[in-house]
């Protein structure tokens, strides 16, 4: 029973659209109808300003970390085998990310999952996040594409996880699946990158709901 509850709560917490809630509560606006139309922290930052945008990011980040640090402890013995000790944490973290990307509260139409994935990875093995985060910084500020930086960071997760923990295939596979999900959620950005029309960081561009400005994809 506790195993089912932990996995269910991981998804339900991950599905909470904190950016949307903050925007509605503080400004009375629906993030899906302003800015980029994305429910993530970056659009919240665009609409609400940087301080509240940071709050939205931290809440989305926490959605990935809390299930790993708390709910995973409820998972029963069947998922705590000697061979896969990280399985409960990986499953809870992954379900939180799935919840963010496909929230039941919003008709399964959510964000990109990057911030929540980062929270889950930090809670399992924080150096993996730090190294991948440095890759994000290098790409974002070197090439000025946030979407490409997010993709590079996602791809780095399983590589670093394998180097650090070659004997923990569950974590490596979990990171690989997260990377695949991030790629899928960025498919429109990838197409624009190939076409050479993806906006760069700092580019001034008028956005409308449903469009994808430079930072929409990041979270």
**pLDDT digits 0-9 by tens, 168-207:** 899 999 999 999 999 999 998 899 899 999 888 765 444 4
Residue 134 in tokens: 């440095």
User: Cα separation of 96 and 107, whole Å?
Assistant: 16
The answer, yes or no, to whether residue 9 has pLDDT greater than 90, is yes
Residue 213 in tokens: 């400005």
**pLDDT digits 0-9 by tens, 34-55:** 876 778 877 787 788 888 889 9
The answer, yes or no, to whether residue 67 has pLDDT greater than 60, is yes
Return the SS3 of 107. coil
- Domain residue limits, the chain: 2-218
pTM for the full predicted model: 0.87
CB 59 within 8 A of CB 18: yes
Helix (H) or strand (E) holding 113: none
CB 66 within 8 A of CB 79: no
User: Cα separation of 167 and 27, whole Å?
Assistant: 49
What is the mean predicted confidence (pLDDT) over 102-129?
Answer: 95
pLDDT score recorded for residue 14: 97
Kindly report the length of the chain: 219
Residue of 101 and 48 predicted with greater confidence: 101
């Amino acid at each position: 029973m506790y195993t089912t509850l932990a996995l269910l709560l991981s998804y339900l917490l991950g599905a909470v659209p904190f950016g949307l809630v903050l925007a509605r509560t503080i400004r009375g606006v629906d993030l899906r109808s302003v800015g980029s139309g994305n429910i993530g922290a970056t659009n919240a930052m665009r609409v609400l300003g940087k301080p509240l945008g940071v709050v939205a990011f931290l809440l989305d980040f926490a959605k990935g970390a809390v299930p790993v640090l708390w709910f995973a402890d409820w998972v029963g013995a069947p998922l705590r085998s000697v061979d896969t000790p990280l399985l409960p944490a990986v499953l809870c973290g992954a379900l939180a990310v799935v919840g963010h990307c496909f929230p039941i509260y919003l008709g399964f139409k959510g964000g990109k999952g990057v911030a929540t994935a980062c929270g889950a990875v930090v809670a399992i093995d924080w150096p993996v996040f730090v190294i991948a985060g440095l890759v994000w910084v290098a790409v974002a500020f070197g090439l000025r594409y946030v979407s490409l930086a997010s993709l590079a960071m996602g791809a780095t997760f399983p590589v670093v996880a394998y180097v650090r923990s070659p004997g923990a295939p569950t974590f490596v596979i979990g990171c690989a699946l997260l990377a695949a999900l991030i790629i899928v959620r960025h498919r429109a950005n990838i197409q624009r990158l190939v076409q050479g029309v993806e906006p760069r960081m700092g580019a001034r561009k008028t956005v409308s709901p449903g469009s994808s400005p430079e930072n929409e994809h990041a979270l």
